[in-house]
Structure 1
Amino acid sequence: MIVFEKKINKILFTFILIFALIYLISITKFIFEPVSAYLAAIAVPIIGAGIIFYISNPFVNWLEKKRIPRLAGIGIVFLLVIAVITVIVMFIAPIVQRQFTNLINNIPDMFDNAQKLFDLWQENQNVIPSQFDDTIESITNNFNTYAEAITTGIIGTIGSIFGFVFSIFLIPFFLFFMLKDGHKFVPFVSQFLSPAKAKSFRTLSDNVNHTLASFIQGQFIVSLCVGIMLYIGYSFIGLRYSLSLALFGLVMNFVPFIGPFLSAIPAIIVGFFQEPILAVWATVVMVIAQQIESNIISPNVMGKKLSIHPLTVITLILAAGGIAGFIGVLFIIPAYAVVKTTISHFYHEWKKKQPEEDPDLF
């Protein structure tokens, strides 16, 4: 048909088909609900096993190159994982639990102290605009309510974590088969494709695998280093709950761009209520750790970072947080990187098949 001879018409028609497909899915979503429920049920073990897979698979491959059978290498990995978990449960978890319990119990006292500071500040301020008086009074009068809400929210979050326990027990099974048979997936799928498509699929798989491996392995090492530096720094300045705050900083460092800023907030608050000058020192510790991470550790561990604009990162994190909460925030950047890699691959494949640009495109 003549209407489809120009590329712009083909592109517009493609978008129409995409939006029509989205509309059909939206009005028949009841068909996909069982699939969504199934995917939600297996998401935690698959994601957990996938993270450990990308961290441990290079070690298994290295052992295999040393002529150690792959199953034996997988067994060594499981023994190492068990050893790490044992150390965490026996030595680290009790300290974190004690510090976290003390922190929860001290939240009301922190709010009481904050209320006293606001009252003292308000009594000694004569230049506060009158329109702010009601706002300040409302905040100070409801400190206890805020404290109870925060405590309840934290306890509710802890309760929801237990919902993952059963899924976590499935992670070793998924991990075992990923390490054992993961390298067979691409050849298995390729045998059903034509030579050209099989080659394209192998290239796409290699690119996606490299993207995920680079992000997960690099981010794991970088975050571990940041957590260690924060623990040393917080302990040096005498900050309470130093291990819990350092672990929080370690986890938040997985969130690109804004994670380090968010991880500094609890440390600054705790330092301020312990001793105001400690809030300054906690900030100094965080800045030093982030400078070492961004200028020394990341360039040597991760090499060239994912080419994602900071504004795109912030937008993705805000959207993922609103849709999937903290889990979405953690995984939106690698998911976006995979989607970007996939689209880029198919775009280059499409460009190879196109003739020279038509000067009469529009």
Structure 2
Amino acid sequence: MTDRPLPSDTQARLRPGPIATIFAGALLLAAAWQWSNVLLLGFGAILIAIALRGGASLLNRRFGLSFKPGVLLCALAAILVIAGIVAWAGPSISGQFRQLIGSLPRAWEQVEGWLSSSSFGQFLERRMENASQGGGSGPTGSIPSVFGYLTGTLTTVFGSVANLVLLVTVAIFLALDAPMYRGGALRLVPQSYRARAGRIADELARALGRWMGGQALDMVLVALVTGLGLWLLGVPLALVLGLIAGLTNIIPVVGPFMSGIPAVLFALTQGFDLAIYVALLFVVVQQLEGNLLMPLIQRFAADLPPALTVLAILAFGSLFGFAGIVLATPLLLVSIILVKRVYVEDILGDRQDD
């Protein structure tokens, strides 16, 4: 019995090339998932490197300084500014932050007292007790988990010195030799698509640079306005609460709640009326930021759909934790550009003028 050769289409299906490609893709996805923390750190380093290159570019245009000395000068200036702020206001902020954390239990006790003395609060307590009896762990008189989450988040952000040093170091190396790293990455792309990939990479860098510039301006203004408003209201921790408001404003939708809740609770220890005024202050600041400041910034930066922004926060936060929440907006920006340029225009062939 002689073996007949397989049909040509069957041979094509059995060729090892497609199977190897699928296997390599699956292996890369598994590795990316396993090293997601490293990739997120690398993405954060890229953002900082883009900012350093932007500062170096400004120095090059104004003073003729070459890029590498400009990058080092920008990095040194940023480190000196941060160190100066820490040396000048660090002890005050540290003391105020400890006072803030220490005041939260007493603030929560006042909230519980108000709840137990009002009909609406009694209704909520009965509902929570029913939920606890149904299989959950009800309130035990301690601070809710949201404050534990907030404390853990801030401790992670401000206490991970080693990760911060590593992040800044990688960012400086990337900024110093950005053309080399860009060229090395493009060599992994087929030659027929390399020029297109280079243009997309440049577009991503410009979009991320504009987003960071706009976001930095937004955070600074929110911190200043919130801190000034709290100081005018007579809130003792205006400095640290304004700083928290500015830092958490990098997270759309969720950030204002992360900064507003502890501010209102701390103001509650000074009086119920003050807590109401603080809550109104945060509402007014966020309304001005969302309806006046952010639209002006988005004209210069990136205009992201609000619904997709919220979904990106939920998706990246569930996948990567707090780091995913912080980087959700720039990750969404990168995803939108890649989908538009690679999938819509190159694969589907739907090219439209921007």
Q: Structure 1 CA distance, aligned partners of 2:85 and 2:121? A: 49
The Cα of 1:233 is off from its aligned counterpart by 0.7
Q: Structure 2 CA distance, aligned partners of 1:188 and 1:332? A: 26
Among 220, 225, 247, the alignment partner of 2:221 is 225
The Cα of 1:222 is off from its aligned counterpart by 0.9
Which piece of structure 1 moves more, 316-325 or 335-344?
316-325
- Equivalent residue, structure 1, for 2:232: 236
Which piece of structure 1 moves more, 156-165 or 204-213?
156-165
- Equivalent residue, structure 1, for 2:11: none
Among 162, 175, 185, the alignment partner of 1:179 is 175
- Equivalent residue, structure 2, for 1:301: 297
- Equivalent residue, structure 2, for 1:9: none
Matched, 1:203 2:190: no
- Equivalent residue, structure 2, for 1:335: 331
Which piece of structure 1 moves more, 171-180 or 298-307?
298-307
RMSD (Å) for aligned C-alpha atoms: 4.0
Q: Structure 1 CA distance, aligned partners of 2:159 and 2:100? A: 23
- Equivalent residue, structure 2, for 1:324: 320
- Equivalent residue, structure 2, for 1:99: 96
Q: Structure 2 CA distance, aligned partners of 1:242 and 1:253? A: 16
Q: Deviations over 1:59-108 (max 9, x none)?
A: 20122233212232123112212211212221232222111211222222
The Cα of 1:32 is off from its aligned counterpart by 4.1
The Cα of 1:231 is off from its aligned counterpart by 0.6
Q: Is the 8 A contact 1:111 1:143 kept in 2?
A: no
- Equivalent residue, structure 2, for 1:283: 279
Q: Deviations over 1:170-223 (max 9, x none)?
A: 234312222211134444555676775232112211221122112222111111
Structure 2 vs 1, CA of residues 324 and 350 (structure 1 numbering), >3 Å: closer, same or farther? Answer: closer
Q: Deviations over 1:270-294 (max 9, x none)?
A: 2233211122221332233234333
Structure 2 vs 1, CA of residues 108 and 188 (structure 1 numbering), >3 Å: closer, same or farther? Answer: closer
Q: Deviations over 1:138-167 (max 9, x none)?
A: 9xxx76642386776666556655873222
Gapped regions of structure 2 (runs ≥ 5): 1-17
Matched residue of 2:321: which SS? helix
The 5 A counterparts of 1:57-72 are 57-65=53-61, 66-72=63-69
Q: Structure 1 CA distance, aligned partners of 2:156 and 2:71? A: 32
Structure 2 vs 1, CA of residues 124 and 76 (structure 1 numbering), >3 Å: closer, same or farther? Answer: closer
Among 160, 165, 178, the alignment partner of 2:161 is 165
Q: Structure 2 CA distance, aligned partners of 1:134 and 1:117? A: 17
The 5 A counterparts of 1:4-83 are 25=26, 32=30, 38=35, 40-41=37-38, 43-44=40-41, 46-65=42-61, 66-83=63-80
Q: Is the 8 A contact 1:268 1:279 kept in 2?
A: yes
Q: Is the 8 A contact 1:253 1:260 kept in 2?
A: yes
Letter matched to residue 206 of structure 1: D
- Equivalent residue, structure 2, for 1:10: none
Q: Name the % identity.
A: 20
What is the TM-score with the length of structure 2 in the denominator? 0.76
What is the TM-score with the length of structure 1 in the denominator? 0.75
Letter matched to residue 120 of structure 1: S
Q: Is the 8 A contact 2:153 2:322 kept in 1?
A: no
- Equivalent residue, structure 2, for 1:88: 85
Among 110, 113, 116, the alignment partner of 1:113 is 110
- Equivalent residue, structure 1, for 2:268: 272
Q: Deviations over 1:239-290 (max 9, x none)?
A: 2322222122112211123433443222222223321112222133223323
Matched, 1:315 2:311: yes
Q: Is the 8 A contact 2:108 2:265 kept in 1?
A: no
- Equivalent residue, structure 2, for 1:260: 256
Q: Is the 8 A contact 1:190 1:198 kept in 2?
A: yes
Q: Is the 8 A contact 1:42 1:167 kept in 2?
A: no
Q: Is the 8 A contact 2:245 2:259 kept in 1?
A: yes
Q: Structure 2 CA distance, aligned partners of 1:152 and 1:124? A: 23
Letter matched to residue 248 of structure 1: I
Letter matched to residue 105 of structure 1: G
The Cα of 1:344 is off from its aligned counterpart by 0.8
Q: Structure 1 CA distance, aligned partners of 2:339 and 2:246? A: 31
- Equivalent residue, structure 2, for 1:13: none
Letter matched to residue 86 of structure 1: A
Structure 2 vs 1, CA of residues 41 and 163 (structure 1 numbering), >3 Å: closer, same or farther? Answer: farther
Q: Is the 8 A contact 1:240 1:270 kept in 2?
A: no
> How many residue pairs get matched?
328
Which piece of structure 1 moves more, 177-186 or 244-253?
177-186
Q: Structure 2 CA distance, aligned partners of 1:308 and 1:151? A: 30
Matched residue of 1:68: which SS? coil
Q: Structure 1 CA distance, aligned partners of 2:347 and 2:55? A: 37
Gapped regions of structure 1 (runs ≥ 5): 1-16, 355-362
Q: Structure 2 CA distance, aligned partners of 1:95 and 1:247? A: 12
Which piece of structure 1 moves more, 331-340 or 226-235?
331-340
The Cα of 1:350 is off from its aligned counterpart by 3.2
